[in-house]
Amino acid sequence: MAGFQVNRRGLAMVAWAIFLVLVMMTNAGIAERTLKDKTNHQVFKEKTQSLLHRVVSFLWQGSKAAYEPIWPEMEFGWKIVIGTIVGFLGAALGSVGGVGGGGFFVPMLTLIIGFDPKSSTAISKCMIMGAAGSTVYYNLRLRHPTLEMPLIDYDLALLFQPMLMLGISIGVTLNILFADWMVTLLLIILFIGTSTKALIKGVETWKKETVMKKEAARLEAEQSKADGAVQGYKLLPSGPNTMRYDDVPLVQNIYWKELSLLVYVWIGFLVVQIIKEYLQTCSVMYWIVNSLQIPIAASVTVFEAICLYKGRRVIASKGKEVTNWKIYQLLFYCSCGIIAGVVGGLLGLGGGFILGPLFLELGIPPQVASATSTFSMAFSASMSVVQYYLLNRFPIPYAAYFVLVATIAAFTGQHVVRKIITVFGRASIIIFVLALTIFISAISLGGVGIADMVQKLADEEYMGFENLCKIS
């Protein structure tokens, strides 16, 4: 009996020993697994942080700045000659399409003359200002093709021009902050999309013009048989027009109330830019003064939007078509104005690359769309030139020369195309010029951007954001 108890005690002790060993082995396994998990987690965390650190370092290094202005000496040679020819063609086509011609100017200034991309953007804005000013002066004397009103639609300008200027101001700031490659993809997608849209609209307008020409010819033939005389046929205001251009005294063709509101916005923005020069960059007061541009622009656009919504004002250039404006439509169009300005200020282009196709979609006749788009660009481009001048972004001799070239080219382009439209009786020519200009701009600017990006990658240059406070 005693032996049995001893064996029981021995078995119990063995069992406890085995249990303790198992517990220790389990704890050791758990500890090892926990240690491995912590190690793996730490390794993953370090890799993630390393990747994020590399991305952040690529995009932002406060002590580095990639921008170094390159201003070649101004001397007569083949570069000036070719640049003048390209600039002349770009300004002529751009003024006709109502897009400014920046898609020609920026590649020409970068690839031929030899400016750096940011300086090319600034000089391009100077050229757009000259071309727009010349075109506006030309158009101010002209009347609407079919209606008793000026060729420029002032109500349309009141809705878009303040937002365009606000967007320009934002775009100029982004031009300082962003690296060139950051906007290349956006530019290609945006321009190919708008040029395709304009081309489709041009084909539709061409077909309508063909149908109405045939109808006009048929009616004239019937009248000739019935009365023995040929009588004129007036086309519908909403369709292709009769190409009637009436020159009237300049004073009688300007809506002074609307023009004064647009000048108020321009002067307000100018005052803000001048005050900013006497403030410390990036200080609290600097941003407060800078933000004053928002109420200045919004006050005029909101006033016009409310009048359109309540029916007190109409976009008269559409003819008898009545548009019941919805709030979301007005918000969308105002947003388009801001986007057009941002793109223009960022890339040195005219906002007409977006406003032109947008006006056509609204049913505005091509001549009015081109004239009104250019009218709005004259204000926004001149303001961006002031901003670039205060930032010392372009050499004055080069800018003055190319402004003169663009001014002469725009006036010449308007005169020639007006004659062509009168002869052929097709306003769709303006739309095709618009589509062609945007498409060429997409290819040229996209090519320049990609080439610049590849070169910087090969040279291992800094390609991130710039420090606004240091650069300014």
Where is mean pLDDT largest: 64-68, 133-137, 357-361? 133-137
Q: Tell me the three state secondary structure of residue 407.
A: helix
Q: What is the mean pLDDT of the chain?
A: 75
- Say whether pLDDT at 27 is over 90: no
- Say whether pLDDT at 342 is over 80: yes
Residue with tokens 């029981």: 8
CA-closest candidate to residue 421, choices 433, 409, 435, 438 = 433
- Say whether pLDDT at 82 is over 80: yes
Q: What is the pTM of this model?
A: 0.67
User: Residue 82 and residue 113: Cα distance in Å, rounded?
Assistant: 9
User: Residue 119 and residue 273: Cα distance in Å, rounded?
Assistant: 19
DSSP string computed for 247-269: B--TGGG--HHHHHHHHHHHHHH
DSSP string computed for 18-48: HHHHHHHHHHHHHHHHHHHHHHHHHHHHHHH
For residue 229, the cross-strand partners are none
Burial category of 387 from C-beta neighbours within 10 Å (exposed 0-12, middle 13-18, buried 19 and up): buried
Beta strands, E only, 295-398: none
Per residue in 271-304, pLDDT tens? Answer: 998 888 888 877 889 889 989 999 999 999 999 8
Residues 6+ positions from 178 with CB-CB distance below 8 Å: 346, 465, 466
Quote the tokens at residue 145. Answer: 């093709």
Q: Tell me the three state secondary structure of residue 143.
A: strand
- Say whether pLDDT at 199 is over 70: yes
Band of residue 87 on the pLDDT scale cut at 50, 70, 90: confident
